[in-house]
Amino acid sequence: PFDVLIVGGGPAGAASAVYAARKGIRVGVAAERFGGQVLDTMGIENFISVPYTEGPKLAVQLEQHVKDNEVDVMNLQTAEKLIPAKEEGGLHELRLANGGSLKARSIILSTGARWRKINVPGEDEYRNKGVAYCPHCDGPLFKGKRVAVIGGGNSGVEAAIDLAGIVAHVTLIEYASELRADAVLQRKLASLPNVKIITSAMTTEVRGDGEKVVGLTYKDRNHGEMHEVALEGIFVQIGLVPNTEWLKDAVALSKHGEIEIDARGETSQPGIFAAGDATTVPYKQIVVAMGAGSIAALSAFDYLIRLPAQ
């Protein structure tokens, strides 16, 4: 069996693997797609000490750094079920989609998350060409330009407030007849001069010129007319979904499906830790995921050295 088995090969899983391997214990990583969300990212400008890099390049470096250590990397493996140990200190079992099963004394869950899409024509085509999902990451790319934020929940309204300080103009588009964000956020938003709020609006198309976004089309849900907004960027903020559906019966999840962890990265099950976007960690960023991955690995090691000798 593994001493530490990591599920997920994004920034959190890679950091866990390097930290755990450096303790001289038996470490494995099973990942559906090594690199994770980083593979879908173009420019990265907030990976501290590296002023600019690109997702596919960082993903290769993550994998290389892991492989420079003694780690059993199992790429293209999807975990389907986690069966926690029956008694404390026992072996946890991870079942894979290919029918295989892996056993480990401790587990680190780092399966990340995915942005919910609006699923309209143009969204995929213009992803990274004006369609964005992360204001902390891509906001500065739209300095002085016009953007829309789609979604009037807390994350959409926070994004609109954040972007209003950077870009020329923000149009916030909400599907329902009113915003769902906290009142204090709504008040702040309403006080900003360069923000327009449109409610009861269904986005129907991302429009582009073949190279980049030039606007969006929405339907007024009260009257049925179509409207066009000319802009350079669209931030989709209708939810980040953790990849934890398969963990429902294994560890405690928040109402948003995030794995609940404590300050040491431990889940509700002894010996099972978690890190990164799949968890209740408050900010979903590369450096945050890496820090959390190192915390989970060190906590797993602390757990292992307290187990009775086998």
- 197 vs 27, 47, 152, 203, 276, CA distance in Å? 50, 33, 9, 14, 32
Give yes or no for residue 36 binding ligand FAD (CB under 6 A): yes
Give yes or no for residue 171 binding ligand FAD (CB under 6 A): no
Closest approach, Cβ 302 to ligand FAD, in A, equals 21
Shorter beta-carbon distance to ligand FAD: residue 215 or 276: 276
Shorter beta-carbon distance to ligand FAD: residue 24 or 140: 140
Closest approach, Cβ 250 to ligand FAD, in A, equals 12
Give yes or no for residue 237 binding ligand FAD (CB under 6 A): no
Using CB positions, name the residue nearest to ligand FAD. Answer: 112
Interface with ligand FAD by CB under 6 A: which range of 11-19, 84-92, 199-207, 209-217?
A: 11-19
Of the candidate residues 2, 4, 25, 37, the single one contacting ligand FAD (CB under 6 A): 37
Interface with ligand FAD by CB under 6 A: which range of 9-17, 209-217, 223-231, 297-305?
A: 9-17
SS3 of the chain: CEEEEEECCCHHHHHHHHHHHCCCCCEEEEECCCCHHHHHCCEECCECCECCEEHHHHHHHHHHHHHCCCEEEEECCCEEEEECCCCCCCCEEEEECCCCEEEEEEEEECCCEEECCCCCCCCCCCECCCEECCHHHHHHHHCCCEEEEECCCHHHHHHHHHHHCCCCEEEEECCCCCCCCCHHHHHHHHCCCCEEEECCEEEEEEEECCCCEEEEEEEECCCCCEEEEECCEEEECCCEEECCHHHCCCCCECCCCCECCCCCCECCCCCEEECHHHECCCCCCHHHHHHHHHHHHHHHHHHHHCCCCC
Interface with ligand FAD by CB under 6 A: which range of 4-12, 147-155, 211-219, 302-310?
A: 4-12
Shorter beta-carbon distance to ligand FAD: residue 235 or 301: 235
Neighbouring C-alpha atoms within 13 Å toward the C-beta of 117: 13
Shorter beta-carbon distance to ligand FAD: residue 5 or 172: 5
Closest approach, Cβ 47 to ligand FAD, in A, equals 6
Take residue 221 and report the two structure tokens written for it.
Answer: 């849900």
The CB density around residue 268, as the number of other CB atoms within 10 Å, is: 14
Shorter beta-carbon distance to ligand FAD: residue 7 or 216: 7
The footprint of ligand FAD on residues 239-298 (CB under 6 A) is 243, 246, 276-278, 284-287, 289
The footprint of ligand FAD on residues 94-113 (CB under 6 A) is 110-113
Closest approach, Cβ 267 to ligand FAD, in A, equals 15
Shorter beta-carbon distance to ligand FAD: residue 106 or 186: 106
Residues in contact with ligand FAD by CB under 6 A are 7-13, 30-34, 36-38, 40-41, 44, 46, 78-79, 110-113, 115, 133-134, 137, 243, 246, 276-278, 284-287, 289
